[in-house]
Amino acid sequence: MLPGRRVLLIIGGGIAAYKSLLLIRLLRGAGAAVTPVLTSAAEHFVTALSVSALANEKVHTALFDLTAEAEMGHIELSRSADLIVVAPATADLMAKMATGRADDLASTLLLATDTPVLLAPAMNVRMWQHPATQRNLATLRADGIRFVGPEDGQMACGEFGPGRLSEPEAIFAAIQSALTLGPLTGKHILVTSGPTHEPIDPVRYIANRSSGAQGTAIAAALRDLGAQVTFITGPALVPAPDGVHVQRVETAAEMLRAVEASLPVDAAIFAAAVADWRVANASTSKMKKDGLGQAPALEFAENPDILATISKGNQRPALVIGFAAETDDILSHARAKRARKGCDWIVANDVSPSTGIMGGAENAVTLITAEAEETWPRMSKEAVARKLALRIAEALAAN
Protein backbone atom coordinates (compact mmCIF):
# COMPACT_ATOMS: atom_id res chain seq x y z
CA MET A 1 0.00 0.00 0.00
CA LEU A 2 1.25 3.46 -0.89
CA PRO A 3 -0.82 6.09 0.95
CA GLY A 4 0.58 9.59 0.72
CA ARG A 5 3.18 8.68 -1.90
CA ARG A 6 3.26 10.55 -5.19
CA VAL A 7 4.32 9.03 -8.49
CA LEU A 8 5.07 11.21 -11.50
CA LEU A 9 4.06 8.94 -14.38
CA ILE A 10 5.51 9.80 -17.78
CA ILE A 11 3.65 7.96 -20.53
CA GLY A 12 5.72 7.55 -23.69
CA GLY A 13 4.36 6.98 -27.19
CA GLY A 14 3.76 3.34 -28.09
CA ILE A 15 1.05 0.74 -28.54
CA ALA A 16 1.69 -0.39 -24.95
CA ALA A 17 0.67 3.03 -23.59
CA TYR A 18 -2.81 1.63 -22.87
CA LYS A 19 -1.28 -0.49 -20.09
CA SER A 20 -0.33 2.70 -18.26
CA LEU A 21 -4.06 3.32 -17.73
CA LEU A 22 -4.29 0.07 -15.78
CA LEU A 23 -1.14 1.06 -13.89
CA ILE A 24 -2.77 4.33 -12.81
CA ARG A 25 -5.75 2.35 -11.46
CA LEU A 26 -3.44 0.08 -9.45
CA LEU A 27 -1.53 3.06 -8.03
CA ARG A 28 -4.69 4.95 -7.12
CA GLY A 29 -6.16 1.79 -5.59
CA ALA A 30 -3.08 1.53 -3.37
CA GLY A 31 -3.56 5.11 -2.17
CA ALA A 32 -0.79 6.74 -4.23
CA ALA A 33 -1.27 10.07 -6.00
CA VAL A 34 -0.37 10.09 -9.68
CA THR A 35 0.84 13.15 -11.59
CA PRO A 36 0.49 12.18 -15.25
CA VAL A 37 2.66 13.51 -18.08
CA LEU A 38 2.03 12.57 -21.70
CA THR A 39 4.64 12.95 -24.41
CA SER A 40 3.28 14.28 -27.68
CA ALA A 41 3.73 10.80 -29.20
CA ALA A 42 1.74 9.27 -26.33
CA GLU A 43 -1.21 11.51 -27.16
CA HIS A 44 -1.64 9.45 -30.34
CA PHE A 45 -2.17 6.30 -28.28
CA VAL A 46 -4.10 7.37 -25.17
CA THR A 47 -6.15 10.47 -24.55
CA ALA A 48 -5.41 13.08 -21.92
CA LEU A 49 -9.06 12.81 -20.94
CA SER A 50 -8.93 9.15 -19.96
CA VAL A 51 -5.58 9.58 -18.20
CA SER A 52 -6.78 12.53 -16.16
CA ALA A 53 -10.08 10.82 -15.33
CA LEU A 54 -8.26 7.79 -13.93
CA ALA A 55 -5.55 9.80 -12.16
CA ASN A 56 -8.07 12.37 -10.96
CA GLU A 57 -5.45 15.03 -11.75
CA LYS A 58 -4.57 17.40 -14.54
CA VAL A 59 -2.46 15.87 -17.29
CA HIS A 60 0.71 17.75 -18.21
CA THR A 61 1.75 17.70 -21.83
CA ALA A 62 3.56 20.80 -23.02
CA LEU A 63 6.70 22.32 -21.56
CA PHE A 64 5.64 25.89 -22.23
CA ASP A 65 2.17 25.59 -20.70
CA LEU A 66 3.84 24.45 -17.57
CA THR A 67 6.56 27.07 -17.28
CA ALA A 68 3.88 29.71 -17.87
CA GLU A 69 2.22 28.58 -14.64
CA ALA A 70 3.97 30.60 -11.99
CA GLU A 71 3.14 28.23 -9.15
CA MET A 72 4.22 24.99 -10.78
CA GLY A 73 7.38 25.07 -12.90
CA HIS A 74 8.83 21.90 -14.36
CA ILE A 75 11.48 21.79 -11.66
CA GLU A 76 8.90 21.74 -8.92
CA LEU A 77 6.73 19.22 -10.73
CA SER A 78 9.60 16.75 -10.98
CA ARG A 79 10.72 17.25 -7.40
CA SER A 80 7.38 16.95 -5.68
CA ALA A 81 7.20 13.25 -6.57
CA ASP A 82 8.64 10.39 -4.51
CA LEU A 83 9.34 8.44 -7.70
CA ILE A 84 9.30 9.12 -11.43
CA VAL A 85 8.05 6.22 -13.55
CA VAL A 86 8.35 6.15 -17.33
CA ALA A 87 5.94 3.59 -18.81
CA PRO A 88 6.20 2.83 -21.62
CA ALA A 89 9.77 4.09 -21.97
CA THR A 90 10.44 4.29 -25.69
CA ALA A 91 13.84 3.96 -27.39
CA ASP A 92 13.65 7.70 -28.07
CA LEU A 93 13.01 8.63 -24.42
CA MET A 94 15.87 6.38 -23.32
CA ALA A 95 18.18 8.03 -25.87
CA LYS A 96 17.20 11.49 -24.67
CA MET A 97 17.77 10.54 -21.05
CA ALA A 98 21.12 8.91 -21.79
CA THR A 99 22.40 12.03 -23.54
CA GLY A 100 20.80 14.54 -21.19
CA ARG A 101 18.53 16.18 -23.76
CA ALA A 102 15.67 18.35 -22.57
CA ASP A 103 13.59 19.37 -25.58
CA ASP A 104 10.11 18.56 -24.30
CA LEU A 105 8.31 18.33 -20.98
CA ALA A 106 9.09 14.66 -20.26
CA SER A 107 12.82 14.89 -20.97
CA THR A 108 13.11 18.22 -19.13
CA LEU A 109 11.46 16.75 -16.04
CA LEU A 110 13.81 13.78 -16.15
CA LEU A 111 16.87 16.01 -16.40
CA ALA A 112 15.74 18.51 -13.78
CA THR A 113 15.40 16.02 -10.96
CA ASP A 114 17.31 13.88 -8.52
CA THR A 115 14.18 11.90 -7.62
CA PRO A 116 14.66 8.15 -8.21
CA VAL A 117 13.54 7.03 -11.68
CA LEU A 118 12.06 3.69 -12.77
CA LEU A 119 11.83 2.86 -16.46
CA ALA A 120 9.54 0.24 -18.02
CA PRO A 121 10.83 0.00 -21.60
CA ALA A 122 8.67 -1.11 -24.52
CA MET A 123 9.72 -1.17 -28.14
CA ASN A 124 10.22 -3.35 -31.18
CA VAL A 125 12.67 -6.25 -30.63
CA ARG A 126 15.23 -4.90 -33.12
CA MET A 127 15.07 -1.45 -31.55
CA TRP A 128 15.67 -2.97 -28.11
CA GLN A 129 18.56 -5.09 -29.39
CA HIS A 130 20.14 -2.28 -31.38
CA PRO A 131 23.61 -1.43 -30.06
CA ALA A 132 22.52 2.21 -29.65
CA THR A 133 19.67 1.23 -27.28
CA GLN A 134 21.87 -1.24 -25.43
CA ARG A 135 24.49 1.49 -25.03
CA ASN A 136 21.85 3.85 -23.67
CA LEU A 137 20.60 1.13 -21.33
CA ALA A 138 24.12 0.66 -19.92
CA THR A 139 24.52 4.43 -19.47
CA LEU A 140 21.17 4.76 -17.70
CA ARG A 141 21.89 1.77 -15.44
CA ALA A 142 25.22 3.33 -14.52
CA ASP A 143 23.36 6.57 -13.71
CA GLY A 144 21.35 4.64 -11.12
CA ILE A 145 18.11 4.39 -13.11
CA ARG A 146 16.03 1.34 -12.22
CA PHE A 147 14.39 -0.89 -14.81
CA VAL A 148 11.45 -3.26 -14.90
CA GLY A 149 11.29 -5.40 -18.05
CA PRO A 150 11.05 -5.47 -20.97
CA GLU A 151 9.57 -8.95 -21.20
CA ASP A 152 10.00 -11.52 -23.95
CA GLY A 153 6.96 -12.29 -26.02
CA GLN A 154 4.75 -11.59 -29.00
CA MET A 155 4.84 -7.93 -29.98
CA ALA A 156 2.04 -5.85 -31.44
CA CYS A 157 4.11 -5.60 -34.65
CA GLY A 158 4.06 -9.41 -35.03
CA GLU A 159 7.68 -10.03 -34.05
CA PHE A 160 8.76 -12.11 -31.07
CA GLY A 161 11.46 -11.36 -28.50
CA PRO A 162 12.41 -8.89 -25.78
CA GLY A 163 10.66 -5.54 -25.97
CA ARG A 164 7.18 -6.09 -24.50
CA LEU A 165 6.14 -3.72 -21.74
CA SER A 166 5.91 -5.52 -18.40
CA GLU A 167 2.38 -6.14 -17.21
CA PRO A 168 0.90 -3.36 -15.04
CA GLU A 169 1.04 -5.65 -11.98
CA ALA A 170 4.80 -6.18 -12.45
CA ILE A 171 5.42 -2.44 -12.89
CA PHE A 172 3.30 -1.78 -9.81
CA ALA A 173 5.37 -4.29 -7.79
CA ALA A 174 8.60 -2.58 -8.94
CA ILE A 175 7.14 0.81 -7.92
CA GLN A 176 6.19 -0.57 -4.53
CA SER A 177 9.69 -1.86 -3.91
CA ALA A 178 11.27 1.40 -5.13
CA LEU A 179 9.01 3.41 -2.81
CA THR A 180 9.39 1.28 0.26
CA LEU A 181 11.33 3.11 2.90
CA GLY A 182 14.06 0.88 4.19
CA PRO A 183 16.32 1.10 7.22
CA LEU A 184 19.07 2.54 4.96
CA THR A 185 16.94 5.18 3.24
CA GLY A 186 18.89 8.44 3.20
CA LYS A 187 22.26 6.69 3.66
CA HIS A 188 24.96 6.82 1.00
CA ILE A 189 27.09 3.68 0.88
CA LEU A 190 30.08 2.89 -1.29
CA VAL A 191 30.91 -0.66 -2.40
CA THR A 192 34.05 -1.74 -4.27
CA SER A 193 33.82 -5.00 -6.16
CA GLY A 194 35.44 -7.31 -8.70
CA PRO A 195 39.06 -7.85 -9.60
CA THR A 196 41.43 -5.21 -10.90
CA HIS A 197 43.43 -5.58 -14.10
CA GLU A 198 47.01 -4.40 -13.96
CA PRO A 199 48.55 -3.92 -17.41
CA ILE A 200 51.75 -5.65 -18.49
CA ASP A 201 51.58 -4.01 -21.90
CA PRO A 202 48.65 -2.66 -23.97
CA VAL A 203 47.26 -6.17 -24.62
CA ARG A 204 48.20 -8.15 -21.51
CA TYR A 205 47.29 -7.76 -17.88
CA ILE A 206 47.49 -9.44 -14.50
CA ALA A 207 44.15 -10.34 -12.97
CA ASN A 208 42.68 -12.65 -10.33
CA ARG A 209 39.76 -15.06 -10.06
CA SER A 210 37.28 -12.69 -8.42
CA SER A 211 33.92 -12.73 -10.26
CA GLY A 212 32.52 -9.71 -8.44
CA ALA A 213 29.52 -11.80 -7.31
CA GLN A 214 29.82 -11.04 -3.58
CA GLY A 215 30.32 -7.29 -4.01
CA THR A 216 27.46 -7.14 -6.53
CA ALA A 217 25.14 -8.97 -4.12
CA ILE A 218 26.10 -6.58 -1.31
CA ALA A 219 25.36 -3.53 -3.47
CA ALA A 220 21.94 -4.98 -4.41
CA ALA A 221 21.12 -5.86 -0.77
CA LEU A 222 22.02 -2.34 0.41
CA ARG A 223 19.89 -0.85 -2.38
CA ASP A 224 16.99 -3.08 -1.34
CA LEU A 225 17.19 -1.61 2.18
CA GLY A 226 16.87 1.87 0.69
CA ALA A 227 20.53 2.99 0.52
CA GLN A 228 21.88 5.18 -2.23
CA VAL A 229 24.74 2.99 -3.46
CA THR A 230 27.88 3.97 -5.35
CA PHE A 231 29.29 0.79 -6.86
CA ILE A 232 32.90 0.98 -8.01
CA THR A 233 33.78 -2.15 -9.90
CA GLY A 234 36.74 -3.64 -11.69
CA PRO A 235 36.16 -5.84 -14.76
CA ALA A 236 33.76 -8.33 -13.12
CA LEU A 237 32.14 -11.41 -14.64
CA VAL A 238 28.66 -10.68 -13.28
CA PRO A 239 26.58 -7.67 -14.40
CA ALA A 240 26.25 -4.69 -12.06
CA PRO A 241 22.89 -4.38 -10.28
CA ASP A 242 20.16 -1.95 -11.37
CA GLY A 243 19.39 1.08 -9.30
CA VAL A 244 22.92 1.77 -8.10
CA HIS A 245 25.40 4.33 -9.37
CA VAL A 246 28.05 2.29 -11.22
CA GLN A 247 31.61 3.43 -11.88
CA ARG A 248 33.82 1.07 -13.85
CA VAL A 249 37.56 1.03 -13.35
CA GLU A 250 40.41 -1.26 -14.42
CA THR A 251 43.38 -0.74 -12.13
CA ALA A 252 43.86 -0.33 -8.39
CA ALA A 253 45.06 3.24 -8.93
CA GLU A 254 41.86 4.09 -10.85
CA MET A 255 39.77 2.42 -8.15
CA LEU A 256 41.41 4.54 -5.44
CA ARG A 257 40.75 7.73 -7.42
CA ALA A 258 37.08 6.78 -7.96
CA VAL A 259 36.64 5.91 -4.27
CA GLU A 260 38.18 9.18 -3.12
CA ALA A 261 35.99 11.14 -5.52
CA SER A 262 32.86 9.46 -4.06
CA LEU A 263 33.48 10.57 -0.47
CA PRO A 264 31.91 11.49 1.86
CA VAL A 265 29.71 8.43 2.42
CA ASP A 266 28.07 6.96 5.50
CA ALA A 267 29.66 3.53 5.07
CA ALA A 268 32.11 1.86 2.71
CA ILE A 269 32.42 -1.85 1.96
CA PHE A 270 35.64 -2.88 0.24
CA ALA A 271 34.74 -6.18 -1.39
CA ALA A 272 37.03 -5.77 -4.41
CA ALA A 273 39.90 -8.21 -4.89
CA VAL A 274 42.38 -5.44 -5.57
CA ALA A 275 45.72 -6.51 -7.03
CA ASP A 276 48.42 -6.02 -4.42
CA TRP A 277 51.02 -5.27 -7.07
CA ARG A 278 51.11 -3.61 -10.44
CA VAL A 279 53.76 -4.09 -13.08
CA ALA A 280 56.29 -1.31 -12.49
CA ASN A 281 57.92 -1.72 -15.88
CA ALA A 282 54.70 -2.10 -17.93
CA SER A 283 55.42 -1.50 -21.58
CA THR A 284 53.55 1.13 -23.59
CA SER A 285 53.85 -1.04 -26.73
CA LYS A 286 53.18 -4.76 -27.12
CA MET A 287 56.10 -6.80 -25.81
CA LYS A 288 57.67 -9.12 -28.39
CA LYS A 289 59.61 -12.38 -28.14
CA ASP A 290 63.26 -11.61 -28.69
CA GLY A 291 63.91 -14.79 -30.73
CA LEU A 292 66.59 -15.93 -28.30
CA GLY A 293 64.23 -17.63 -25.85
CA GLN A 294 64.82 -14.91 -23.30
CA ALA A 295 61.65 -14.26 -21.21
CA PRO A 296 60.95 -10.68 -20.12
CA ALA A 297 61.52 -9.85 -16.46
CA LEU A 298 58.54 -8.15 -14.89
CA GLU A 299 59.15 -5.85 -11.98
CA PHE A 300 56.40 -5.16 -9.50
CA ALA A 301 55.46 -2.13 -7.43
CA GLU A 302 53.01 -2.22 -4.53
CA ASN A 303 49.56 -0.81 -5.25
CA PRO A 304 47.97 1.70 -2.91
CA ASP A 305 45.89 -0.06 -0.26
CA ILE A 306 42.49 1.52 -0.83
CA LEU A 307 40.90 0.16 2.33
CA ALA A 308 43.78 1.32 4.55
CA THR A 309 43.97 4.71 2.82
CA ILE A 310 40.27 5.41 3.38
CA SER A 311 40.23 3.97 6.93
CA LYS A 312 43.04 6.29 7.92
CA GLY A 313 42.00 9.26 5.79
CA ASN A 314 40.37 12.47 6.96
CA GLN A 315 37.05 11.68 5.24
CA ARG A 316 36.72 8.30 6.94
CA PRO A 317 33.13 6.95 6.72
CA ALA A 318 31.43 6.10 10.03
CA LEU A 319 31.60 2.40 9.15
CA VAL A 320 34.41 0.86 7.08
CA ILE A 321 34.28 -2.84 6.21
CA GLY A 322 37.04 -4.88 4.58
CA PHE A 323 37.28 -8.44 3.36
CA ALA A 324 40.02 -10.91 4.11
CA ALA A 325 40.21 -13.67 1.55
CA GLU A 326 42.72 -16.15 2.94
CA THR A 327 43.85 -19.68 2.28
CA ASP A 328 45.36 -20.49 5.68
CA ASP A 329 45.19 -19.28 9.29
CA ILE A 330 42.12 -17.38 8.20
CA LEU A 331 41.02 -15.88 11.48
CA SER A 332 44.40 -14.81 12.79
CA HIS A 333 45.28 -13.21 9.45
CA ALA A 334 41.91 -11.49 9.35
CA ARG A 335 42.23 -10.14 12.91
CA ALA A 336 45.66 -8.77 12.10
CA LYS A 337 44.31 -7.24 8.89
CA ARG A 338 41.52 -5.42 10.76
CA ALA A 339 44.07 -3.83 13.06
CA ARG A 340 46.63 -3.07 10.35
CA LYS A 341 44.19 -1.50 7.91
CA GLY A 342 42.21 0.38 10.52
CA CYS A 343 38.75 -0.75 9.40
CA ASP A 344 35.83 -1.44 11.74
CA TRP A 345 34.79 -4.88 10.51
CA ILE A 346 36.46 -7.61 8.51
CA VAL A 347 34.54 -10.27 6.63
CA ALA A 348 36.91 -13.24 6.55
CA ASN A 349 36.56 -16.13 4.16
CA ASP A 350 38.53 -19.15 2.99
CA VAL A 351 39.35 -18.91 -0.70
CA SER A 352 41.34 -22.17 -0.93
CA PRO A 353 40.47 -23.75 -4.30
CA SER A 354 38.83 -26.71 -2.51
CA THR A 355 36.13 -24.41 -1.03
CA GLY A 356 34.92 -23.29 -4.48
CA ILE A 357 34.19 -19.86 -2.97
CA MET A 358 36.22 -17.64 -5.28
CA GLY A 359 34.17 -17.45 -8.47
CA GLY A 360 31.45 -19.68 -6.92
CA ALA A 361 27.86 -19.01 -5.83
CA GLU A 362 28.29 -19.55 -2.08
CA ASN A 363 30.33 -18.09 0.70
CA ALA A 364 31.19 -19.08 4.27
CA VAL A 365 32.31 -16.09 6.28
CA THR A 366 33.29 -14.99 9.76
CA LEU A 367 32.37 -11.42 10.66
CA ILE A 368 35.05 -9.90 12.87
CA THR A 369 34.24 -6.68 14.72
CA ALA A 370 35.95 -4.96 17.64
CA GLU A 371 33.56 -6.73 20.02
CA ALA A 372 32.88 -10.14 18.55
CA GLU A 373 33.59 -12.84 15.99
CA GLU A 374 30.70 -14.61 14.38
CA THR A 375 30.96 -17.52 11.99
CA TRP A 376 27.98 -17.72 9.65
CA PRO A 377 26.96 -21.01 8.06
CA ARG A 378 27.80 -21.52 4.39
CA MET A 379 25.07 -19.82 2.32
CA SER A 380 24.55 -18.14 -1.05
CA LYS A 381 26.48 -14.92 -1.67
CA GLU A 382 23.08 -13.14 -1.84
CA ALA A 383 22.16 -14.44 1.63
CA VAL A 384 25.55 -13.31 3.02
CA ALA A 385 24.90 -9.92 1.43
CA ARG A 386 21.41 -9.58 2.97
CA LYS A 387 22.67 -10.54 6.42
CA LEU A 388 25.57 -8.10 6.16
CA ALA A 389 23.30 -5.31 4.87
CA LEU A 390 21.00 -5.74 7.89
CA ARG A 391 24.02 -5.58 10.20
CA ILE A 392 25.15 -2.38 8.48
CA ALA A 393 21.67 -0.88 8.91
CA GLU A 394 21.74 -1.69 12.64
CA ALA A 395 25.21 -0.21 13.06
CA LEU A 396 24.36 3.02 11.22
CA ALA A 397 21.11 3.38 13.17
CA ALA A 398 23.08 3.13 16.42
CA ASN A 399 25.49 5.86 15.30
Which residues are identified as catalytic? 157
Q: Distance (Å, rounded) from C-alpha 91 to C-alpha 102? A: 15
What's the closest the beta carbon of residue 302 comes to ligand C5P, in angstroms?
Answer: 8
Residue 270 interacts with ligand C5P (CB under 6 A): yes or no? yes
The yes or no reply on residue 172 touching ligand C5P (CB under 6 A) is: no
Q: Does 231 engage in binding with ligand C5P (CB under 6 A)?
A: no
Closest CB to ligand C5P among 224 and 305?
305
- 174 is a site residue for ligand C5P (CB under 6 A): no
* Calpha distance 348→352 (Å, rounded): 12
Q: Does 306 bind ligand C5P (CB under 6 A)?
A: yes
CB of 230 to ligand C5P, least distance (A): 15
**Only segment of 90-98, 173-181, 320-328, 372-380 that touches ligand C5P (CB under 6 A):** 320-328
Question: Closest separation between CB of residue 346 and ligand C5P, Å?
Answer: 8
125 lies in the binding site for ligand C5P (CB under 6 A) = no
Residue 323 binds ligand C5P (CB under 6 A): yes
Q: Which of residues 337-396 bind ligand C5P (CB under 6 A)?
A: 337
Q: Which stretch binds ligand C5P (CB under 6 A): 70-78, 242-250, 271-279, 389-397?
A: 271-279
Residues within window 180-209 making contact with ligand C5P, judged by CB under 6 A: 192
Q: Which of 97, 274, 348, 368 binds ligand C5P (CB under 6 A)?
A: 274
In b/e form, how buried is each residue of 178-187, taking b as 16+ CB within 10 angstroms? bbeebbbeeb
Taking CB under 6 A as the rule, does residue 322 contact ligand C5P?
Answer: yes
Residues 236-265 that bind ligand C5P (CB under 6 A): 252
Distance CA 322, CA 306 (A): 10
Is residue 324 a contact point for ligand C5P (CB under 6 A)? yes
How many residues bind ligand C5P (CB under 6 A)? The answer is: 14
Under rule CB under 6 A, residue 303 binds ligand C5P: yes
User: Judged by CB, which is closer to ligand C5P: 2, or 272?
Assistant: 272
Stretch 54-93: interaction string toward ligand C5P, x if CB under 6 A? ----------------------------------------
The binding site for ligand C5P (CB under 6 A) comprises 192, 252, 270, 272, 274, 276, 303, 305-307, 322-324, 337
